[in-house]
Structure 1
């Protein structure tokens, strides 16, 4: 079930862990929703299990019943979104091999998980927590490959990182009252322009995006 909550000026659906088939009890989902609200407001480091209990009006023991640590709670909060993105990246790479893929699927993903994406962008400390570093690195690499072709060279890594940052930043900068349809159109167009820029840069570099270690530049062709 989706619930709309206002956080940081946005009214967006809670889709992080409360999806169908997640196996979470109603009590655990309430803890996750409250945690995301507080993490978004005060950051991971600035939020305690007691704060979450106070927000819910329950005892700390009630929160501890579902999640023993903040790290366990954070992982449960973001893991469904991460797993969905990894599956999207895998299917996206297969689609590219059949003739190409635009950024629409990734944009739709960002919109579905807007609150989690906004929170993680604002609180990089969360991504450095145990259990998220390796998963986050793998996720970033696969999504960059999905968006730009999977070449894995220096140029692709540069443009892939820029594309991810640009789309996430644009989502954060969007007006609070922007409709989902407007956001989808603008973010998709932005992503298409960035992919076109990457292709142009790759052609200019002669099809090789690997920087030469001796000079930091690729040889002229």
Structure 2
């Protein structure tokens, strides 16, 4: 057995993260349906056995890839739900979502635009529940079809804008731009700054 047949277990977290980084780059280029475990192994210079050490299936790999971003979005949803008024909740949701997509530019596009990713995630109860909670927050002022369309346009639009932003745009600047665009799309005003805030 050659060295590449054996996963590097001395630094399993590093090896797993490198695997996820390569997988994301390939999925962004070829789509989830067009990316095989063999392609990921080839790109890493290892055998499929090394991939299986971390993930038994492509679907498991995808879940591992998206879980950190879903966790971030869940935190923002929970924070938004604690706000007192519908407008405050919507503002918090827009800003939280802007942070999440600015922080995860490539992954945001994969999550929003790749239908084969949706196929896998729709079987994950947590993901479906999270989308429903986001929609509920964002459609409070217009719970009809128009409200759902606006909320969907917000989520897909900000994810696409984050992915298409110039590479040199830093995360903080991108978050601020996306938040402003999102508020405008949803008909929200800039939240008032506390007195004495810069």
**Same-fold call, TM > 0.5?**
yes
Q: Work out which of the residue numbers 137, 155, 168 in structure 2 matches 1:164.
A: 155
Match of 2:168 in 1: 177
Q: Is the 8 A contact 1:148 1:156 kept in 2?
A: yes
Aligned length: 174
Structure 2 gaps, min length 5: 1-11, 189-198
> Do the aligned partners of residues 158 and 41 (structure 1) sit closer, same or farther apart at CA in structure 2, a change above 3 Å counting?
closer
How does the TM-score come out when normalised to structure 1?
0.68
Query: 2:107 is matched with which residue?
Result: 116
Alignment partners' CA distance in 2, 1:121 and 1:131: 12
**Separation (CA, whole Å) in 1 of partners of 2:176 and 2:32:** 32
Which one of 138, 145, 150 corresponds to residue 136 of structure 2? 145
Alignment pair present for 1:105 and 2:96: yes
Is the 1:144–1:150 contact (alpha carbons within 8 Å) kept by the matching residues of 2? no
From 63, 66, 89, the counterpart of 2:51: 63
1:195 aligns to 2:183 (yes or no): no
Structure 1 pair 96–36 and aligned structure 2 pair: CA distance change class (3 A): farther
Distance of 2:71 and 2:159 partners within structure 1: 18
Residue of 98, 117, 129 corresponding to 2:120: 129
CA pair 169-153 structure 1, distance change in 2 beyond 3 A:
same
Q: How does 1:23-38 map to 2 (within 5 A)?
A: 25-38=13-26
Which segment is superposed worse, 145-154 or 133-142? 145-154
Tell me by how many angstroms 1:77 deviates: 0.8
Deviations 1:46-88 (A, max 9, x none): 1111111111111111111111110111111112211321232
SS of equivalent residue, structure 1 residue 110: helix
Secondary structure at the counterpart of residue 176 of structure 2: helix
Name the residue aligned to 1:88: 76
- Secondary structure of 2:82's match? helix
1:111: how far off?
Answer: 1.3
The equivalent residue for 1:77 is 65
Distance 2:121 2:86 in 1: 37
Aligned partner of residue 58 in structure 1, secondary structure:
coil
